[in-house]
Chain A
């Protein structure tokens, strides 16, 4: 099994992540509200949350409690109706370059992996590194190394259709790690997997935590088995922490 720390060049555009826990928290949400349909639906209702650097947090709760909305706001895929969200001490509301923020600071893993079907496994990882300053060879080497990290060496040139659900999810994890994010956000990462693949992915997350002590993880899940692997479990209900 390969070492989870890749040795290929790091993408430009961000600083070396630090495991120094005395710095600003990885994520800080303060009285965050998110309304839809002009306030008819209140997905988040004054949510406040703090996740430290290097911490692993599982977010659970019933459907519609605002788990995914919270993740989307932290990933800057959407904006809060009110409240403050800081990532690594940076206020997202003042961020002008949100694609740059997503590229350099956040890694996203979706429930259905969302790989591009027309690309191979390695190409799916490589495209996350466009615009990072790495050249073609560096992107290739790094993607290869990341796929080896998630135990997919030898499967680099397979399209997603030739991979199992668990293998696809591991490609998605490799893609999320491509730019060495400070924060890994996973939305039901095992939701579409069989039991064996769930174990594999969980093992992957455990190793990630061990090898990347500065990286915080927020995993949204219904599965208490998955939640139990985190440092802390947060239960959401009606758009706020219970």
Chain B
């Protein structure tokens, strides 16, 4: 029997301890991975919206509770357009509407047909809507697929019947799952005349994007320029809060998991005190006893992590199919999320297993042998 085989044997022979401790680790991993995947997916969806088109950066109102509450008026757009280094600015108004049970968060974008190309929209079938039309729309190809609609069909949105005059593609999953209306009609419909949710800025060739960005940040303190994921929180506080909650949940998962691991390992330690005395009596060093306990904890952690990862995928699948998130959440499994799951599990078992391991290693052999 090798030392590794002894550790595997010791872990698998105590099935109840293995099940309870691995479950605690698995719950921690599920918490971390599920929340991580969900928040990262929301981040990615939002960022995808911001990165739609050929813009160098996006502008939103600063410190709004969520990005769609951003409101920028026409005059501000005009001022930004006249800023040095700015080649073009596209303003869009964005809304979310419940279309039906299958599409509870249907993305609506109001945009001028003249800006479609600059915004990165390609009309793949049919034609663009007319700027002044009040019964025409463009449907994203994903939405068309989901709704089974084609060019020439009609779609009823908010009590009004529209003709699908074209199908578009933006290359972004979220954008392609929505609909585009003529900007003027949509501003009227949303009761936000001359207002935009986001501005998409293209800088002049040769100009420094960072310089233009910081100039706008300085000249328009009520606005936030966004180019990277890190800058996203400047505009959207809700996502920042979700990210903070995610981090808080990770810390809590580690603490709770570590406590459960520690109690399971301590209970097992008390049961096995005499065993440690015997091992010392036959010449095992403290170091070897300690390594055995820690290795057992790490193996349990590994089993819990594997189980937790499997459960996480199921949990995310379940959340993804919640009616309120249908079509919005596209799970993104990144190595970062899995890395965090591993760190979390490792932290749980190291924190939880260290004290019992030290205690087992330092208990005097005779004291352990007298343990009943």
The answer to whether A and B belong to the same complex is: yes
| CB-based nearest B residue for A136 | B2
Nearest CB of B to A161, in Å:
12
Interface size on A, residues (CB 8 A): 30
Which B residues from 325 to 372 make CB contacts under 8 A with A?
Answer: 364-366, 369
Most A CB contacts (10 A, CB to CB) among B3, B14, B282, B284 go to: B282
| CB-based nearest A residue for B6 | A127
Assuming the contacts A77-B365, A116-B278, asked whether A99 and B1 have C-beta atoms less than 8 A apart, the reply is no
5 A-B pairs with C-beta separation under 8 A: A77-B281, A77-B364, A78-B366, A100-B283, A123-B1
- Quick check: is A119 within 8 A (CB to CB) of the other chain? yes
Which A residues from 116 to 132 make CB contacts under 8 A with B?
Answer: 116, 118-119, 122-123, 126-128, 130-131
Q: Give 3 closest A-B pairs by Cβ, nearest first.
A: A103-B283, A102-B283, A118-B13
Most B CB contacts (10 A, CB to CB) among A78, A116, A126, A178 go to: A116
Check if A136 sits within 8 Å of B1, measured CB to CB.
Answer: yes
Which A residues from 100 to 117 make CB contacts under 8 A with B?
Answer: 100-104, 108, 110, 114, 116
- Quick check: is B9 within 8 A (CB to CB) of the other chain? yes
Nearest CB of B to A177, in Å:
11
Which B residues from 1 to 25 make CB contacts under 8 A with A?
Answer: 1-3, 6, 9-10, 13-14
In the bound complex, CA of A187 to CA of B316 (Å): 60
Q: Which residues of B contact A140 (CB under 8 A)?
A: 1
Q: Is the interface of B mostly helix, strand, loop or mixed?
A: helix
- Quick check: is A175 within 8 A (CB to CB) of the other chain? yes
Q: Residues of A with Cβ closer than 8 Å to B?
A: 72, 75, 77-78, 99-104, 108, 110, 114, 116, 118-119, 122-123, 126-128, 130-131, 136, 139-140, 175-176, 178-179
Q: Which residues of A contact B270 (CB under 8 A)?
A: none
Assuming the contacts A116-B275, A118-B14, asked whether A131 and B283 have C-beta atoms less than 8 A apart, the reply is yes
Check if A102 sits within 8 Å of B282, measured CB to CB.
Answer: yes
| CB-based nearest A residue for B5 | A136
Assuming the contacts A118-B10, A118-B14, A131-B285, asked whether A99 and B280 have C-beta atoms less than 8 A apart, the reply is yes
Check if B1 sits within 8 Å of A108, measured CB to CB.
Answer: no
| CB-based nearest B residue for A120 | B1
Nearest CB of A to B50, in Å:
58
Q: Which residues of A contact B2 (CB under 8 A)?
A: 136
In the bound complex, CA of A178 to CA of B283 (Å): 11
In the bound complex, CA of A39 to CA of B293 (Å): 36
In the bound complex, CA of A126 to CA of B9 (Å): 14
Q: Which residues of A contact B282 (CB under 8 A)?
A: 102-103, 108, 127-128, 175-176, 178
Nearest CB of B to A208, in Å:
17
Check if A126 sits within 8 Å of B369, measured CB to CB.
Answer: no
Most A CB contacts (10 A, CB to CB) among B1, B2, B9, B13 go to: B1
Check if B366 sits within 8 Å of A72, measured CB to CB.
Answer: yes
Nearest CB of B to A158, in Å:
15
| CB-based nearest A residue for B287 | A99
Check if A131 sits within 8 Å of B284, measured CB to CB.
Answer: yes
Assuming the contacts A123-B1, A136-B2, asked whether A77 and B369 have C-beta atoms less than 8 A apart, the reply is yes
Q: Which of A77, A99, A103 contacts B286 (CB 8 A)?
A: A99
Q: Which residues of B contact A131 (CB under 8 A)?
A: 283-285, 288
Check if B281 sits within 8 Å of A130, measured CB to CB.
Answer: no
Q: Which residues of B contact A99 (CB under 8 A)?
A: 280, 283-286
Nearest CB of B to A223, in Å:
21
Check if A127 sits within 8 Å of B279, measured CB to CB.
Answer: yes
Q: Which residues of B contact A119 (CB under 8 A)?
A: 1, 6, 9
Q: Which residues of B contact A123 (CB under 8 A)?
A: 1, 6, 9
- Quick check: is B274 within 8 A (CB to CB) of the other chain? yes
